């Protein structure tokens, strides 16, 4: 799981003018790590270490986390349709089905 997309974590790295790209990535990593710890502590996700080379860490929703899916889906739908300027670079409203379709095409 990457907090900002990208299979290798290099996409959509926020740019802070006074920081290098590497420093920005480190900040993003630390923020993601803290958020994941909070979600684990709240029993919304579980963490599993997969002993491979390289070692992988997998996160999964718990039963409690799964109960949040409808709420999060509704919040996502609302923000995509009602606040597109804050959600999308082009500022155009979308619905979840459009996003899924875009992912399938690319």
The pLDDT of residue 14 is 53
Report d(CA 2, CA 14) in Å as an integer: 13
| Spans of the chain below 50 pLDDT | 1-2, 4-11
Report d(CA 35, CA 37) in Å as an integer: 5
Give the number of residues written for the chain.
106
The pLDDT of residue 87 is 87
State whether the Cα torsion 102-73-31-49 is positive or negative. Answer: negative
The pLDDT of residue 5 is 43
Name the phi and psi angles at 64, rounded to 5. Answer: -65, -45
Specify the pTM.
Answer: 0.59
């Amino acid at each position: 799981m990457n907090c900002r997309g990208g299979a290798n974590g290099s996409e959509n790295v926020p740019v802070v003018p006074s920081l290098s790209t590497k420093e920005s990535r480190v900040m993003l990593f630390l923020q993601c790590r803290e958020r994941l710890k909070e979600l684990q502590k709240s029993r919304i996700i579980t963490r599993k270490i997969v002993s491979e080379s390289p070692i992988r860490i997998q996160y999964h929703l718990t039963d409690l986390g799964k109960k949040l899916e409808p709420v999060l889906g509704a919040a996502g739908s609302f923000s995509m349709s009602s606040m597109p300027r804050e959600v999308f670079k082009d500022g155009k409203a979308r619905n979840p089905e459009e996003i899924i379709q875009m992912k399938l095409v690319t």
